[in-house]
Amino acid sequence: MFNFQKFIGNVSAIKKQDEFNDYLKSSFMEIEEYLLNISDEEINKIKFDIEDLLYDLLDNKLIGNKDSKVINAFLILLAEKLIQSSLVGAITIISNYLPNGSIKLRIEAAKQYLKINNIATDYTQRCYVILNLLEEATKLDEYNTNSIKSLLYFYKNALLQFQRVGQAELAKELSHAIVQKREDFEFLQDMVLSDFLDKVTHLNTEDSLALVQQILIDTEYSKKTCTRAQHAVHKEAGFYSEKLNQITNQNFDSIRDVAFKQIKSIGDSPQLYEQLERGEAIISDEALLYKYLVSFGTKHKEKLYSAFDTIATQLKSNTYNLVDWGCGQGLATILLFEYCNERNISLSIKNIILIEPSEIALSRAILHVDILKPKEKINIRAINSDFDCLDIDDLSIDDTSATLHLFSNVLDIENFSLNVEFFKKVSHFIRDKSLFICVSPNRNDKLNNRLDLFYSYFDENFNTTLISSREDSLKNTTRYEKIFEVAFTKPLFEQKKQFQVLQQHSNIDVIGTLRQYADYLVPTLDIDALEQSINRDPEYAIFKIRKIAEIITSKIYDQYEDNGKMISFNDKIRHLSYQKNIFSKDITNYVQTIRTIGNRGVHDATSDMSKLRLDAHLTTMALISFLKELLNKKLIP
């Protein structure tokens, strides 16, 4: 369980922005998971703690106007919670440090309704300005939910003030003012708000507040309930299948054309698009399958074709097993087939795994892939599950070919946990080489940070080559992209050398000795938590030790070179060891031991708990030796 109070205490002790940046990188997954899943009621219990945290950030100069992406992501998380809390002072301060985007607009809207001078007139007079800000935020977000919640917080705040002064008629004036603007703002035409506005003009203040609260509960973020089918999903048959099989020139555009005609025949209502929730909804209605393909299909194609351009050489020269994560209707897979066909690339695929929580979307994906796949025999396996419930045993492939992973418009979605358990599921495929295509819309630093965290995990734990990292806009869509190759790594050090490290420390209190170096470890590495995890969760202990070793190495590297953000951990070690002769042989051995054991590629799928515990002890001892040698050489203060 994430300890928010301990997190605040750790942050308050940090005095340098680069240290704060490193601390956030090491713990962002836990922070995000905690803040995303707490309710309005829980927020009210900690809202003053959040406010105090913000003041600590300011007092210690840990935030500024040119913050890193991970700091921006954290500020966006905080801002979302401050909107829920209605703390006007903290909201006013954080607005000065947020990056431009939808959350900044919604914070500005909150300032409008929280800084009130005249209750009788200000809410109604400022209504149009607030609606304008929320409309612009909706356009940047590409969906309505956040602006809907902001409007409801505005209305709730106003009603509470009207109730406090005993002027119920002001509530009627405000609701009528919003209703009159209904046709001027697209987000007000959302089904949720449309229904709300129809009802609220006829309710008293108390009932209106109850309705607002119920809608806020209904729209409150919560991680989706574990979704996993207990039966096999088969290829779709019936009307749509017959239509596709009648097409002479079967390709993505002709399939999309069938969807376009079908959606027109059944009625293309605005509500269909809203139900897609910017493409994040788990689809259970066939009409939404058509609407998704028509609404988002060309954007997928534009992003993916540009991504495939960066790996055309690899596609020509390797045989792959393909995994389409959150495949939906299989668009990423069929667009890969079409891309290769258009460019005369002879794509060799042995196995395809399609992973998707929507049963009807997965059934359609099997159909699409079966129609457009290359002619040679390809085994297709469909897994009807969300990522949190995914069983690692389902991911086994009896083939040693390289793996091509497709993450199209998936990693930026917050309804699954981006944690070590998920990373282990993905890493399960890494036997030789794996190629990762990760593309999403570029909406804000908080969502982009999920792609950065995903890439960083592999960069930190495997031999990883970054092929492309782009965040520029294409003609018809924005994009945030990480494309990289991951190689399985054999241990770099003999077991004999590893046991030499163990023998050197066999008679010492390892955790007690490590505490002597707390100034270099805390808060990035929580020593108490490390002591517990060495036996309970040794993989996590290894992961955190490797992270702190990388942070320390990077700080030393940055004293000599200015390209640290572009260089891998291993390359920094080599540069400091062999080109600069700054790291001695002993220092190099200790840090490479940490890096190598920390590399997930060293651990095969059969690693038992006793072996992992031994590795956790070894990396802890290597960290002690690493720090001791750095201090002796005066490489750290």
Q: Name all domains of the chain by residue range, CATH numbers in brackets.
A: 4-219 (no CATH), 239-487 (3.40.50.150), 495-632 (no CATH)
Mean of pLDDT over the chain: 88
Contact (Cβ atoms closer than 8 angstroms) between residue 162 and residue 170 = yes
The rounded distance, in Å, linking the Cα atoms of 104 and 145 is 16
The rounded distance, in Å, linking the Cα atoms of 162 and 158 is 6
Question: Which helix H or strand E contains 34, and what residues bound it?
Answer: helix 17-37
- Of all residues in the chain, the percent with pLDDT exceeding 70 is 93
375 vs 232, which has greater pLDDT?
232
Least confident range of 76-80, 360-364, 467-471, 591-595: 591-595
Q: What is the mean pLDDT of residues 193-221?
A: 89
Q: Confidence band (pLDDT; 50, 70, 90) for 493?
A: very low
Provide the angle, in degrees to the nearest 10, between the axes of the packed helices 538-558 and 420-427: 90
The rounded distance, in Å, linking the Cα atoms of 528 and 542 is 14
330 vs 275, which has greater pLDDT?
330
35, pLDDT greater than 50: yes
Q: What is the mean pLDDT of residues 399-416?
A: 93
CA torsion sign for 225, 229, 235, 236 is: negative
Which of 77-86, 101-110, 219-228 is predicted most confidently? 101-110
Q: What is the pLDDT of residue 490?
A: 53
Q: CA dihedral in degrees (249, 253, 255, 261; nearest 10)?
A: -110
Q: What is the mean pLDDT of residues 30-52?
A: 88
Q: What is the mean pLDDT of residues 403-428?
A: 91
Nearest to 61 by CA among 14, 107, 93: 14
Where would I find the H helices in 343-491? 359-372, 420-427, 445-461
Q: What is the mean pLDDT of residues 90-102?
A: 93
Q: What is the mean pLDDT of residues 525-551?
A: 88
The rounded distance, in Å, linking the Cα atoms of 597 and 514 is 19
Nearest to 385 by CA among 417, 352, 362: 362
32, pLDDT greater than 60: yes
For the chain, give the longest Cα–Cα distance. Answer: 82
The rounded distance, in Å, linking the Cα atoms of 401 and 149 is 48
Q: What is the pLDDT of residue 251?
A: 94
DSSP 601-631: GGS-TT--HHHHHHHHHHHHHHHHHHHHHHH
Nearest to 91 by CA among 99, 81, 38: 81
Distances (CA, A) of 189 to 106, 290, 335: 18, 22, 34
Q: Confidence band (pLDDT; 50, 70, 90) for 608?
A: confident
The token pair at 289 is 């399958």
Residue with tokens 């290894």: 542
Q: What is the pLDDT of residue 378?
A: 93
Q: What is the pLDDT of residue 239?
A: 92
The token pair at 370 is 């079966």
The rounded distance, in Å, linking the Cα atoms of 445 and 76 is 8
Q: DSSP assignment, residue 485?
A: E
Q: How many other β-carbons are positioned within 10 Å of the β-carbon of residue 394?
A: 14
The token pair at 284 is 């259970």
Q: What is the pLDDT of residue 529?
A: 87
Q: What is the pLDDT of residue 27?
A: 87
Q: What share of the chain is helix, strand, coil (3-state, %, to 5)?
A: 60, 10, 30
The rounded distance, in Å, linking the Cα atoms of 260 and 244 is 13
Q: What does the pLDDT look like over 126-183, one tens digit per residue?
A: 999 999 999 999 988 766 788 999 999 999 999 999 999 999 899 999 999 999 999 9
What is the DSSP pairing of strand 348-355 with strand 402-408? unpaired
Contact (Cβ atoms closer than 8 angstroms) between residue 501 and residue 593 = yes
List CB contacts of 41: < 8 A, sequence separation 6 or more: none
Counts of helices then strands in the chain (DSSP H, E): 29, 7
274, pLDDT greater than 80: no
Say if residue 523 is preceded by a cis peptide, omega within 30 of 0: yes
Amino acid letter for position 29: M
Nearest to 149 by CA among 206, 92, 95, 83: 83
505, pLDDT greater than 70: no
The number of C-alpha atoms within 13 Å of 237 and in the hemisphere containing its C-beta is 2
Residue with tokens 């919604």: 106
Q: DSSP assignment, residue 373?
A: S
Q: Confidence band (pLDDT; 50, 70, 90) for 491?
A: very low
- Phi first, then psi, for residue 634 (nearest 5°) are 60, 40
Say if residue 270 is preceded by a cis peptide, omega within 30 of 0: no
Residue with tokens 């914070």: 107
109, pLDDT greater than 90: yes
DSSP 132-167: HHHHHHHHHHTSSHHHHHHHHHHHHHHHHHHHHHT-
The token pair at 91 is 């909201």
- Sheet of strand 402-408: strand arrangement: 379-383, 348-355, 319-325, 402-408, 433-440, 480-487, 463-470
The token pair at 511 is 């955790």
Nearest to 235 by CA among 408, 354, 322, 324: 354
The rounded distance, in Å, linking the Cα atoms of 432 and 400 is 7
501, pLDDT greater than 60: no
444, pLDDT greater than 80: yes
List CB contacts of 413: < 8 A, sequence separation 6 or more: 280, 326
Q: What is the pLDDT of residue 392?
A: 84
Does the model's pTM come out above 0.85? no
Contact (Cβ atoms closer than 8 angstroms) between residue 594 and residue 417 = no
Q: What does the pLDDT look like over 221-248, one tens digit per residue?
A: 555 556 666 678 999 999 999 999 999 8
Q: In whole angstroms, what separates CA 88 from the centre of its chain?
A: 29
Q: What is the pLDDT of residue 323?
A: 97
Where would I find the H helices in 220-358? 239-245, 252-266, 270-275, 286-309, 312-317, 331-342
Provide the angle, in degrees to the nearest 10, between the axes of the packed helices 69-85 and 445-461: 140
508, pLDDT greater than 70: no
Q: What is the pLDDT of residue 603?
A: 52
